Amino acid sequence: MTVKIDVIIVGAGLSGLSHAAHLLRKRNAKLKRMILEATYRVGGRTVIPAANGVDRWDFGGQWVGSTQTHILELIKELVLEAFMQFNIGKKVHHMGGPGGKVHTYRTSIPAPSPVVLIDLIQLFWEIGRLCATVCIQDPSTNTAELDSMTLYSYITRHAGHPKLKEEMVMCSRSVFGKEPSQMSFLFFLMSAAAGGMLPLLESTPGSASELKIKKGGTQQPSQCWLAERVGWKNVRLGSPVTAIWQDAEWGVTTTTNTFCSAVIVTWPPRLAAKIHYQPALPSREFLTQNMPVGHMIQFIITYQTPFWKEKGFSGETVAGSTSFLFCVTFEPSGNAALVGFIAGQQASQWSSEEGGERRKAVLSSLVKYLGLEAASFIHYEEKDWAKEVYSGGCPINVMAPGLLTYYHPSLRKPCGR
């Protein structure tokens, strides 16, 4: 039996739920809405598993920052509580391959040698200057040259010291889940435009990793939205959409046998490209195929005690070479645990390995950085987001070089070539 409603939203992540619960509701509270979610949960790339059945940690997007005003307004509106990311104590910094020296530092970023520091200041200043030239509302304006190069080509040209180049590669992996050779330099500048490059990397006040949401983590907004604004009766879990047909007389129909007047697709671009559209959307298909999602394997290790604090460490470690398994770790704050990320090329190399081998390599590195106590864990759990059929990767989609200047900012019609 075909069901007739006004609007279908494909995907019950934060984007889909916000369309259903806020924007459409504000426009017309009488609209009949239906959210079709392919998986059997809500929240998209936010999820909370139990560690050994006791502790509960975020296993997807987990930090929010003061520049992310929309999500902060939502947290306030839903009467949720956020707390500061723990970063007190010594941090570990390891660059230069397996033979590189392991350093510790207490500042927001590692203190490089004077030569590297000069290059770093100059590079950050130049990136900040270029960020100011980018119009977020219309990124195709006077930016063809920036979009014609990758982040890697820019780094190669402007980061003089080899150690600085290594640092920038590590930053690309930990923030975007991608190698710098895989993304447009213009896309990178747009990402850094909310306050410069440093806020993307730090966990200090004002940065992107500044705050975490208490108790239920970042999946809470989705659950609260459902309970208070949408209602479970308007959500169908386990309902993947593989095709959408539009007809001038009958409107829009999806493979879930649901008939409506309009469809909003909130899936990540690469997944949205796998939907069969009739009539075809060639411009959208080109766009989505050139927006690869990052690749991250996230792990969380629970311990009996936060032994690193007893040694004066914060739990934050940074490693820059593909000879290491992970690029960063943090203490997720609260109980005794460490969260870390295998990202970019590291994730691609290790994704096909057996889980026990990854765990062994992770623990071996942590022992090197934090001591023998790191090997005595209570629970180890990991999640490879690239293997999530309806996520396809994590954390975000990046744009390939040349894509932004090919399209009008509305992304509805090609222009410029």
For 190-238, write each residue's pLDDT tens digit.
887 766 667 777 777 777 777 777 766 777 777 776 656 777 888 888 9
Return the structure tokens found at 343. 């990202």
Q: Are residues 188 and 308 in the same domain?
A: yes
The pLDDT-based confidence of 412 (bands split at 50, 70, 90) is very low
Exposed, middle or buried: residue 146 (CB in 10 Å: 0-12, 13-18, 19+)? buried
Q: Are residues 333 and 189 in the same domain?
A: yes
Residues 6+ apart with CB under 8 A from 21: 225, 229, 230
Q: Are residues 187 and 163 in the same domain?
A: yes
Q: Are residues 163 and 271 in the same domain?
A: no
Q: Are residues 15 and 72 in the same domain?
A: no
d(CA 326, CA 94): 11
Q: Are residues 261 and 357 in the same domain?
A: no
**Per-residue model confidence as pLDDT tens digits over 281-339:** 777 777 777 777 888 888 989 999 999 999 999 999 988 766 667 888 988 876 788 98
d(CA 143, CA 320): 30
In a domain, 35, yes or no: yes
Cα 140 to its chain centre, rounded Å, is 24
In a domain, 57, yes or no: no
Q: Are residues 157 and 34 in the same domain?
A: no
Q: Are residues 136 and 282 in the same domain?
A: no
d(CA 405, CA 290): 13
Domain count, the chain: 2
Domain of 231?
A: 3-43+219-289
In a domain, 186, yes or no: yes
pTM of the model: 0.82
Domain at 129, CATH number? 3.90.660.10
d(CA 188, CA 178): 11
The pLDDT-based confidence of 358 (bands split at 50, 70, 90) is very high
Q: Are residues 284 and 301 in the same domain?
A: no
Which one has a higher pLDDT value, 372 or 138?
Answer: 372
Summary mean pLDDT of the chain: 80
In a domain, 51, yes or no: no
Which one has a higher pLDDT value, 359 or 24?
Answer: 359
Q: Are residues 367 and 285 in the same domain?
A: no
Q: How many helices (H) and strands (E) does the chain have?
A: 16, 20
In a domain, 54, yes or no: no
Q: Are residues 300 and 345 in the same domain?
A: yes
